Amino acid sequence: MPVLSPEAAGRVRKGSFTLAPDGSLTGDISETFIGDDAMSERMFIKESDSKEIHDALEDRLGKDLTNLKFKGFKFAQTDDLTKPLKLDLHVSDSNYAHTAGALLLVRPRVLGSHVRTMTDIMQGKPRTYAIELGHAAHFRDSFDIAIPAGYVVDETPDPVDLNFDFASYKSSVSVKGNLLHYEREFVIKDVEISAGEASNFRKLQSTIMNDERSTAVLKKP
């Protein structure tokens, strides 16, 4: 069966946030879904009432924002199947950054995870069957965090660039004025890979996990 291009599905997520000196974070997120990912979200909307949608989104966001205050959401273009599905979110976290003496430790990857829970593969257990990756898709994240006045960025995580025949992952953190900018792309190129590719799958997943946990260091000059 032919595999669709990764550009036929996926999500673009953009976030603009403000970090306070006490470590609290507030911001807005916009997500745009296309292809299979838009279809899945539209089915979720159709089959759920407003409270169920709110609770599901809150649960999804809470996996990354542990002190989440979910301020609201709005979907757009839900009924026009010829257009991407759009979602706007408004959030805050009262304890996002962590202090270490005079330093603030900030995770540039504010939300969203591409880590897959496959314990047997990650433990290196022998595998006979193929590893299913879902559908081909292109996922993009772009987050800007305005750092508090009186702080500068002292350290940022190293860039990541990993490419296999079945998937690729890259991310970078940069500083633009008072903004800590995080950018990443995850491309799923194939729907499944052979059991013989398990070691490369482990490397990909370990790389993603380490990147998602990495922190930047802010200090007072």
Q: Collapse the DSSP code of 70 into the 3-class scheme (helix H, G, I; strand E, B; otherwise coil) and give the result.
A: strand
* Strand bridging mode 137-146 / 10-19: parallel
Q: Collapse the DSSP code of 11 into the 3-class scheme (helix H, G, I; strand E, B; otherwise coil) and give the result.
A: strand
Q: Give a yes or no: residue 203 inside a domain.
A: yes
**Average pLDDT of 18-38?**
97
Per-residue pLDDT of 129-156, as tens digits, reads 888 888 999 999 999 999 999 999 999 9
Residues of the domain holding 90: 6-219
Give the pLDDT score at 126. 81
Residues 6+ apart with CB under 8 A from 124: 198, 202
Q: Give a yes or no: residue 187 inside a domain.
A: yes
Give the pLDDT score at 2. 60
Of the CA atoms within 13 Å of residue 189, those in its CB half-sphere come to: 10
pTM above 0.95, yes or no: no
pLDDT at 127 over 90: no
46: CATH: 2.60.120.1130
Q: Give a yes or no: residue 164 inside a domain.
A: yes
What distance in Å separates the CA atoms of residue 23 and residue 157, rounded to the nearest whole number? 19
Q: Give a yes or no: residue 113 inside a domain.
A: yes
What distance in Å separates the CA atoms of residue 186 and residue 169, rounded to the nearest whole number? 5
The number of domains in the chain is 1
Q: Would you state the structure tokens that stand for residue 169, as one six-digit string?
A: 């992952």
Q: Give a yes or no: residue 1 inside a domain.
A: no
CB 156, CB 175: distance < 8 Å: yes
Per-residue pLDDT of 58-117, as tens digits, reads 999 999 999 999 999 999 999 999 999 999 999 999 999 999 988 999 999 999 999 987
83: enclosing H helix or E strand = none
> What does 152-199 look like in DSSP terms, one character per residue?
EEEE-PPPEEEE-SSEEEEEEEEEETTEEEEEEEEEE--SEE-GGGHH
Q: Give a yes or no: residue 56 inside a domain.
A: yes
CB 139, CB 212: distance < 8 Å: no
Q: Give percent above pLDDT 70 in the chain.
A: 99
CB 97, CB 18: distance < 8 Å: no
